[in-house]
A and B are shown apart, each in its own frame.
Chain A
Amino acid sequence: MKLKYLIIALTVILLAYTSCQKVIDLKLNNAAPQLVIEGNVTDQFQPQSVMLSTSVPFSAQSVYPPVSGATVTITDKALGTFTLVEGPKGTYSTVPFKGNYGDTYTLSVQTGGKTYTATSTMPNLVPLDSLTVRGDVFDNKNSRTITVNYQDPPNIANQYLFVMYINNKQVNTIFTNDDSFTNGRYVQGDLFQNDIDINLHDTVTVNMECIDENIYKYWFSLSQQQGSGPGGGTAPSNPPSNLSNNALGYFSAHTAHTKAVVIEQ
Chain B
Amino acid sequence: MVKLYLLTPYIVLLMLYKPYFNAHFPPLKTLICVFLFLFIAIPSSFAQKKFTISGNVKDAATGEILIGATIKIKELPQNGTASNSYGFYSLSAPAGNYTLLVNYVGYATVSQSVSLDKDVSLDVSLSTKSDLNEVVINAQKPNNDNVTSPQMGVVKLDISQLNNVPVLLGERDILKTISLLPGIKAASQGNTGFYVRGGASDQNLILLDEAIVYNASHLFGFFSTFNSDAIKDVDLYKGGMPAQYGGRLSSVLDIKMDEGNNKEYTVEGGIGLIASRIKVEGPIVKDKGSFMISARRTYIDLFLKASSDSTVKGSSLYFYDLNAKANYHFDDKNALYISGYFGKDVLGLKNTFGTNWGNATATIRFNHLFSSKLFSNTSLIYSNYNYAIISYLVGNDFVATSKINDLDFKEDFQYFASSKHLLKFGIDALHHSMAPGTITSNDSSSVNSKTVPQRYGLETAAYISDEWHVSDKLNLLYGVRYSGILLFGPGAFNTYDAEGNTISSTTYKSGQIAKSYFNLEPRFSASYNLNDSSSLKFSYNRNTQNIHILSNSTSSAPTDLYVMSSNNIKPEIADQLSTGYFRNFDDNIFEFSTEVYYKWLQNQIDYKNGAQLILNPDVESQLVYGVGRAYGIEFFLKKKYGRFNGWLGYTLSRTELKFDAINNGNYFPATQDRTNDVSAVGIYQLNKKWSFSAVFVYGTGNAVTYPDGKYEVGGVTTYYYSQRNGYREPASNRLDLGATLEGKPHKKYHSSWTFGIYNVYNHRDPYTITFQDSKTNPGTTEAVETSLFGRIPSVTWNFKF
Contact = CB atoms under 8 A, between A and B. Distances in A.
B612 A56 contact: no
B347 interface: yes
Given A15-B788, A228-B768, A55 B710 contact: yes
Most chain B CB neighbours (cut-off 10 Å) among A1, A10, A29: A10
Contact of A53 (B711, B779, B790): B711
Nearest to B702: A232
Interface string A1-27: 111011101110111001111111110
A153 interface: no
A21 B784 contact: yes
B128 interface: no
A10 B347 contact: yes
A263 interface: no
B674 interface: no
Interface in B285-327: 300, 304, 308-312, 315, 317
A16 to B, nearest CB: 10
B616 interface: yes
A138 B312 contact: yes
A234 interface: yes
B331 interface: no
**Interface size grouping (class) on chain B:** 35 or more
A156 interface: no
A61 interface: yes
Given A58-B771, A137-B352, A38 B713 contact: yes
A105 B227 CA distance: 61
Contacts of B768: 228, 230-232
A57 B711 CA distance: 9
A245 to B, nearest CB: 15
B782 interface: yes
**Interface size grouping (class) on chain A:** 35 or more
Contacts of B767: 19, 230-231
Nearest to A38: B713
Contacts of B610: 217-218, 220-221, 224, 239-240
Contacts of B448: 181-185
A18 B389 contact: no
B18 interface: no
A7 B680 CA distance: 34
A78 interface: no
A81 interface: no
A138 B311 contact: yes
A30 interface: yes
Interface string A49-60: 000011111101
A152 B764 CA distance: 47
B311 A139 contact: yes
Contacts of A57: 709-710
B637 interface: no
Most chain B CB neighbours (cut-off 10 Å) among A19, A62, A183: A62
B785 interface: yes
Contacts of B187: 231
Contact of A26 (B351, B720, B783): B783
Contacts of A138: 309, 311-312
Given A23-B784, A139-B309, A240-B610, A231 B555 contact: yes
A19 B787 contact: yes
B665 to A, nearest CB: 14
A187 interface: yes
A110 interface: no
A55 B555 contact: no
A234 B552 contact: yes
A22 B769 CA distance: 10
B642 interface: no
B137 to A, nearest CB: 43
Interface in A213-262: 217-222, 224-225, 227-240, 248-250
A163 B715 contact: yes
B609 A217 contact: yes
Contacts of A142: none
Contacts of B609: 217, 221, 237-240
A147 interface: yes
A34 to B, nearest CB: 6
B773 interface: yes
Nearest to A139: B309
A11 B446 CA distance: 27
A248 B711 contact: yes
Contact of A62 (B353, B717, B721, B725): B717
Q: Which 7 A-B pairs have the closest CB atoms?
A: A221-B610, A231-B555, A188-B395, A31-B708, A55-B711, A55-B709, A6-B353
9 contacts: A18-B789, A21-B787, A26-B727, A31-B708, A172-B717, A182-B447, A228-B770, A234-B607, A234-B611
Given A3-B389, A18-B792, A221-B610, 4 more contacts: A3-B559, A24-B784, A55-B711, A230-B768
